[in-house]
A and B are shown apart, each in its own frame.
Chain A
Amino acid sequence: MDVIWQATLASFSMLMTLDDRLIEVILLSLRVSLTALVIASLIGLPIAACLAFTRFPGRKIILVSFNAMMGLPPVVVGLVVYLLLSRSGPFGVFNLLFTPTAMIIAQVVLVTPIIVSLCRESLESMRREYHDALRSLGATAAQAISVLVWDGRFTLATAHLAGFGRAIAEVGAVMIVGGNIDHVTRVMTTTIALEASKGDLVVALGLGVVLVLLSLTINFLVYGVRSLGEAKVAS
Chain B
Amino acid sequence: MTGASPLPLRLESVGLSRSGKNVLKDVTTTFAVDPPKTVIIGPNGAGKSLLLQVCHGLISADTGIVDWATPQNARALSRAQAMVFQRPILFRRSAVANLILALKIAGFAKSEWRDRADGALERTGLSRHAATPARSLSFGEQQRLALARALVVEPKVLFLDEPTASLDPAAAHLVESLIDEAATSGVKIIMISHDLNQTRRLADEIIFMHRGRIKERAPADQFFTRPENDLAQAFINGELLWRRRRSIFDGALVDDETCSSEDFNKS
Chain A positions within 8 Å of B, measured between CB atoms, are 129-130, 132-133, 135-139, 143, 147, 151-152, 231-235
Q: Are B136 and A234 in contact (CB under 8 A)?
A: yes
User: Do A139 and B105 touch across chains, with their CB atoms under 8 A apart?
Assistant: yes
Q: Is there an interface contact between A232 and B85, defined as CB atoms closer than 8 Å?
A: no
Instruction: List CB contacts (< 8 Å) of B95-125 with chain A.
Output: 101-102, 104-106
Contact indicator A137/B102 (Cβ below 8 Å) = yes
Query: Which chain B positions have C-beta within 8 A of A151?
Result: 91-93
**Interface size in chain B (residues, C-beta < 8 A):** 25
Whether, in the assembled complex, B75 has its beta carbon less than 8 Å from a beta carbon of chain A, the answer is yes
Total CB contacts across the A-B interface at under 8 A: 53
Q: Which residues of A contact B58 (CB under 8 A)?
A: 132, 135-136
Known: A136-B56, A136-B83, A138-B75. A232 touches B106 (CB 8 A): no
Q: Which residues of A contact B135 (CB under 8 A)?
A: 233-235
A sample of 17 inter-chain contacts (CB < 8 A) reads: A129-B89, A130-B89, A130-B91, A136-B56, A137-B106, A137-B153, A138-B75, A138-B106, A143-B104, A147-B91, A147-B101, A151-B92, A151-B93, A152-B92, A233-B133, A234-B135, A235-B135
B105 to chain A: which residues have CB within 8 Å? 137-139, 143
B153 nearest CB neighbor, chain A only? A137
**Pairs of residues from A and B, 9 with the lowest C-beta to C-beta distance, nearest first:** A138-B78, A233-B92, A234-B136, A133-B89, A234-B133, A234-B135, A151-B92, A136-B83, A137-B105
Among B93, B101, B149, the residue within 8 A (CB) of A233 is B93
Given the interface pairs A138-B105, A234-B134, A234-B135, the reply to whether A133 lies near B92 with Cβ below 8 Å is no
Distance in Å: Cβ of B105 to nearest Cβ of chain A: 5
Shortest C-beta distance, B134 to chain A (Å), equals 7
A158 CB to nearest chain B CB (Å)? 14
**Residues B220-264 near A (CB distance < 8 A):** none
CA distance A130 to B93 in the complex (A): 13
Instruction: Point out which of A137, A139, A232 has the most chain B C-beta atoms below 10 A from its C-beta.
Output: A137
CB distance from A161 to the nearest CB of B (A): 19
Chain B residues within an 8 Å CB radius of A231: 133
Which chain B residue has the least Cβ–Cβ distance from A138?
Answer: B78
Contact of B89 (CB < 8 Å), options: A132, A152, A234: A132
What residue of chain B has the Cβ atom nearest to residue A137's Cβ?
Answer: B105
Residue on A with the closest CB to B92?
A233
How far does the Cβ of A201 sit from chain B's closest Cβ, in whole Å?
Answer: 49
List B contacts of A147 (CB < 8 A).
Answer: 91, 101
Does chain A have a CB within 8 A of B187? Answer: no
For residue B79, CB closer than 8 A to chain A, the reply is yes
Q: Are B102 and A234 in contact (CB under 8 A)?
A: no
Give A139 to B90 CA distance when docked, in angstroms.
15
**Cβ distance B139 to chain A, nearest Cβ, rounded Å:** 13
Taking the closest CB of chain B, its distance from the CB of A140, in whole angstroms, is: 8
Across-interface contacts of B90 in A (CB, < 8 A) = 133
A235 to chain B, nearest CB (A): 5
Q: Is B82 an interface residue (CB 8 A)?
A: yes
Task: For residue B33, give the distance in angstroms from its CB to the closest CB of chain A.
Answer: 21
Q: With the chains together, A235 CA to B78 CA distance in Å? A: 28
* Distance to closest chain B CB from A52 (angstroms): 17
Chain B residue, CB-CB nearest to A144: B105
Chain B residues with Cβ below 8 Å from A137 are 78, 82, 101-102, 105-106, 149, 153
- Report how far A138 CA is from B155 CA in the complex, Å: 12
Q: Which residue of A lies closest to B107 (CB)?
A: A138
In angstroms, Cα B69 to Cα A180, docked, is 73
**Further 6 A-B residue pairs, CB within 8 A, beyond A133-B91, A139-B105:** A130-B91, A132-B89, A136-B58, A136-B82, A138-B106, A151-B91
- Identify which of B79, B85, B136, B153 contacts A133 (C-beta below 8 A): B85
Q: Are B85 and A132 touching (Cβ within 8 A)?
A: yes
For A235, give the chain B residue with the smallest CB separation.
B92
Q: In the complex, A232→B85 CA distance in Å?
A: 24
Contact with A along B146-168 (1 / 0, CB 8 A): 00010001000000000000000
Q: A134: nearest residue on chain B (CB-CB)?
A: B105
Which B residues are in CB contact (< 8 Å) with A129? 89
Query: Which chain A residues lie closer than 8 Å to B101 at the CB level?
Result: 137, 147
Chain B residues in 8 Å Cβ range of A233: 92-93, 133, 135
